[in-house]
Amino acid sequence: MIWRKDVECLPVDKLRALQLERLKALVARVVERVPFYTKVFADAGITAQGITSLDDLPKLPFTRKTDLRDNYPFGLFAVPLSEVKELHASSGTTGNPTVVAYTKNDIALWSDVMARTLACAGAVPGDVVQNAYGYGLFTGGLGIHYGALELGATVVPMSSGGTKRQIKLMHDFGATVLTCTPSYALFMAEEAADMGVDTRRSPLRVGVHGAEPWTEGMRREIEETWNIKAMDIYGLSEIIGPGVAEECQAQDGLHVFSDVFLPEVIDPDTGEPRPDGKDGELVITTLTKEALPLIRYRTGDIVSITHEPCKVCGRTSPRMSKVRGRTDDMLIIRGVNVFPSQIESVLLEVEGAKPHYQLIVDRQGSLDQLEVQVEIDEGVFSDEIKVLEDLERRIHRELESVLGLSVSVRLVEPRTIERSVGKAKRVIDKRQL
Amino acid sequence: MRVKQLSVFLENKSGRLAEVLSLLAKAGVNLRALSLADTRDFGVLRVIVDDVAKAHAVLKEHGVTASETDVLAVEVPDQPGGLAGILELLGRQNVSVEYMYAFVAKSGDKAIMVFRFDNLDQAAGALQRGGVRILTGKELYSL
């Protein structure tokens, strides 16, 4: 079903007119209310009145993740804190976390785009939604939650983990929709098999999977083992959380809810627009958000976009491809965003010297594993095993608390870690994605 | 009185110990005593060699992490209760042993044990007061 036919199926000319009208209002609002934007727009010599067409969009300045960090915690908000009803934050050690905020209307918008998302994936009012995305500061859990309520579904706020319990309640409550990372869907299927639960005979009909990269092969495996349709979902906290784009039954690209989140694809090096069908960095402008409106936010995700109308569902919105990579060195491990710089700063703190390290990412069974290999040089070496084991434990504990993710730590000999032309190759990703 | 032990960091992978020992062999370094402590992923090789400085330099040159550690080489009566007697003596003085291992050669009719203590000076005093002989580096390397 299409949750908001009025906007999701708008004729393209009307959609563009709506986007332009919203863009002009947005620029006027941020220039007036957010000192950061007052300055960058003045520097660029652009005013809201100067925007007469969507073709002017590429002239507007970009916003980057560093801008959010530099203005930590509330510097980019366009409303007083009294109007902010919810705050979320990403993990972060190098500098500050990324803080995102929602007004009452923003929560309503989030509920709306997430209801659209679930409906687009094939959920209907009355469905029982088992939500196995993490609740808390991570936006995944609550975003799905709000959307399921808006849709008129019954939501089971499982959060992540506790797999045996997930499977029991899923069976006993008769879940029809499962929302979780794709790797967790596969892991659950393995656990279910061990418990003697026949996953193919459950009432489950739809899986909504995202927050990490996955392949068509994984999709087939999930669909096969659970006997469901497995749908890709896209979003990021800075824009709203989950609810930016979703696949329809065609499973041929994710419909971007472009009446509120205006997408562009650019060359990450030059900043120039990329044509339809060509890979580039996804850039999004939040057209109606109140608390944290962002102009041309650089997502760091590599995608392509097509504006060709979808032949299957009738939505007129542009469709984006699956995320094909990143412009930076961010890793996604079991749905958690990890930057090598976070790990480096933990090691620096524990060891007290610039560490040599390497990150080995692999998928064992269906779950991602991150191994941090730390070189032991004379500065930290001890002839006593207990001192080395203590070092290993401290690194392990600090990494877990900073990343919010369980990792394994291995102490290795120097030079074990490959150096490539003066610069160490920090990440080895063995996952087949 | 103190003896220098060379401590070497090793990854737990097959052939690694042989590689490191062959580096020492090629440099003409002779091993006098050896112990290996290991965990799942890594180990620490502890050796007494005839030329510590040379051995250390060779390993460093090949990027092997090593350090020099002060230990005591102690004569132990080669008879039942010989070692137990020395440990009891140390225990009475509240000296704790971090680790120890046996020397290959003998000193006359006595065995030799290498000890690593948390407090080496206190340990040396306790041993000497108890009439236990501690070998010098010179004595040890020439055995």
DSSP state of B15: T
Is the residue at A274 inside a domain? yes
Residue B91: its H or E element: helix B82-92
Q: What is the CATH number of the domain that holds A411?
A: 3.30.300.30
Q: What is the token pair recorded at B108?
A: 């006359």
Examine the domain organization and report whether B62 and B9 are in the same domain: yes
Residue A416 has what pLDDT?
Answer: 59
Residue of chain B with shortest Cα separation from A373: B41
Rg of chain B over Cα atoms, rounded to whole angstroms, equals 16
- Is there a single domain that holds both residue B91 and residue B109? yes
A138: CATH: 3.40.50.12780
In chain B the beta strands, taken as DSSP E runs, fall at 3-11, 31-38, 42-49, 66-77, 97-102, 110-117, 134-135
| Chain B nearest CA to A420, separation (Å) | 17
**What is the pTM assigned to this prediction?**
0.80
Q: Is B46 on the interface with A (CB under 8 A)?
A: yes
Same domain, B75 and B100: yes
Q: Which of A111, A115, A142 is nearest to A127 (CA)?
A: A115
Last residue of a domain, one of B69, B93, B115: B69
Is there a single domain that holds both residue A223 and residue A346? no
Q: How confident is the model over B11-69, as pLDDT tens digits?
A: 988 899 999 999 999 999 999 899 999 999 999 999 999 999 999 999 999 989 999 99
Phi, psi torsion values for A347, nearest 5 degrees = -65, -40
One domain for residues A316 and A397:
no
Q: Are residues B63 and B113 in the same domain?
A: no
User: Do A258 and A367 belong together in one domain?
Assistant: no
In a domain, A41, yes or no: no
Given 3-state DSSP classes, what are the helix, strand and coil percentages for chain B, each rounded to the nearest 5? 35, 40, 30
- Both B135 and B75 in one domain: the answer is yes
Is residue B114 within 8 Å of B72, Cβ to Cβ?
yes
Mean pLDDT to the nearest integer, B63-82 = 94
Q: Do B44 and A384 touch (CB under 8 A)?
A: yes
Q: Kindly report the CATH number assigned to the domain that includes residue B39.
A: 3.30.2130.10
Please check whether residue A217 lies inside any domain of the structure. Answer: yes
| Inter-chain touch A413–B63, beta carbons under 8 Å | yes
The DSSP 8-state label assigned to residue B29 in this structure reads P
Residues A197 and A292 in one domain: yes
Residues B18 and B8 in one domain: yes
Please tell me whether residues B41 and B88 are part of one structural domain.
no
Whether residue B123 is found in the same domain as residue B84? yes
Letter for the amino acid at A404? G
Residue B42 to chain A, least CA–CA distance (Å): 7
Q: Are residues A178 and A268 in the same domain?
A: yes
Q: How far apart are CA B111 and CA A270, in angstroms?
A: 75
| C-alpha to C-alpha distance for B88 and A49, rounded to whole angstroms | 90
Domain count, chain A: 2
What pLDDT is attached to residue A92? 58
Q: Which of A274, A297, A328 delimits the end of a domain?
A: A328
Short-list A300, A294, A366, CA closest to A335: A366
- Secondary structure of chain A in the HEC alphabet? CCCCHHHHCCCHHHHHHHHHHHHHHHHHHHHHHCHHHHHHHHHHCCCHHHCCCHHHHHHCCCECHHHHHHCCCCCCCCCCHHHEEEEEECCCCCCCCCEEEEEHHHHHHHHHHHHHHHHHHCCCCCCEEEECCCCCCCHHHHHHHHHHHHHCCEEECCCCCCHHHHHHHHHHHCCCEEEECHHHHHHHHHHHHHCCCCHHHCCCCEEEEECCCCCHHHHHHHHHHHCCEEEEEEEECCCCEEEEEEECCCCCCEEECCCCEEEEEECCCCCCECCCCCCEEEEEEECCCCCCCCCCEEEEEEECEECCCCCCCCCCCCEECCCCEECCCCEEECCEEECHHHHHHHHHHHHCCCCCEEEEEEEECCEEEEEEEEECCCCCCCCCHHHHHHHHHHHHHHHHHHHCCCCEEEEECCCCCCEECCEECCEEECCCC
Residue A421, chain B, CB below 8 Å: the answer is: no
Boundary-marking domain end, from A294, A328, A362: A328
Considering the domain architecture, whether residues A208 and A168 belong to the same structural domain is answered as yes
| B74 close contact with A: CB closer than 8 A | no
- Residues B41 and B75 both lie in one domain: no
Domain stops at, among B13, B45, B69: B69
Question: How do strand A280-286 and strand A206-210 relate by DSSP bridges?
Answer: unpaired
Q: pLDDT tens across B82-111, in order?
A: 999 999 999 999 999 999 999 888 888 899
Cα A351-A356-A359 angle, rounded to 5 deg: 110
Check if A418 contacts B (Cβ < 8 Å): no
Tokens at residue A340, please?
């090598």
Residue A387 lies in a domain: yes
Task: Name the closest residue on chain A to residue B117, using Cα atoms.
Answer: A384
Q: How confident is the model at residue B138 (pLDDT cuts 50, 70, 90)?
A: confident
Q: What local confidence, expressed as pLDDT, does residue A93 receive?
A: 53
Residues of chain B with C-beta less than 8 angstroms from the C-beta of A355: none
Domain co-membership, A314 together with A221? yes
Distance in Å, alpha carbon of A374 to nearest chain B alpha carbon: 12
Tell me how far apart the alpha carbons of residues B109 and A109 are, in angstroms, rounded to a whole number. Answer: 88
The reply to whether B64 and B77 lie within a common domain is no
Statement to judge: residues A313 and A414 lie in one domain: no
Question: Does residue A38 fall inside a structural domain?
Answer: no
Pair A346, A311 in one domain: no
Q: Which residues of B touch A382 (CB under 8 A)?
A: 7, 44, 67
Q: What interface predicted TM-score (ipTM) does this complex get?
A: 0.90
User: Is A243 inside any structural domain?
Assistant: yes
| B9:A376 CB<8 A | yes
**Minimal Cβ distance to A378: which of B11, B65, B99:** B65
Query: Is the residue at A49 inside a domain?
Result: no
> Distance between CA A363 and CA A193 in Å, rounded?
19
Is residue A16 in some structural domain? Answer: no
Per-position pLDDT tens, chain A of length 433? 999 999 999 999 999 999 999 999 999 999 999 999 999 999 999 999 999 999 999 999 999 999 999 999 999 999 999 999 999 998 655 557 899 999 999 999 999 999 999 999 999 999 999 999 999 999 999 999 999 999 999 999 999 889 999 999 999 999 999 999 998 999 999 899 999 999 999 999 999 999 888 888 889 999 999 999 999 999 999 999 999 999 999 999 999 999 999 999 999 999 999 999 999 999 999 999 999 999 999 999 999 999 998 999 999 999 999 998 889 888 988 888 888 888 888 898 888 767 788 999 998 877 889 999 999 988 899 999 999 999 999 999 999 988 888 899 999 998 655 554 445 578 888 887 6
Q: B40 is in which domain, residue-wise?
A: 3-69
Same domain (yes/no): B83, B123 = yes
- Residues of chain A positioned with their CB less than 8 A from the CB of B38: 385
Residue where one domain finishes, among candidates B37, B69, B101:
B69
A vs B, Cβ pairs < 8 A, gives 53
CB contact under 8 A, A412 and B65: no
Of the candidates A384, A385, A413, the beta carbon closest to that of B65 is on A413
Residue B80 has pLDDT above 70, yes or no: yes
Tell me whether A371 touches chain B (CB under 8 Å): no
Q: Quote the domain boundaries for residue A415.
A: 333-429
The CA distance from A338 to the nearest CA of chain B, in Å, is 24
Last residue of a domain, one of A286, A302, A328: A328
Total number of domains constituting chain B = 2
**Which among A257, A241, A15, A270 is positioned nearest to A107, based on CA atoms?**
A241
A338 and A316, same structural domain? no
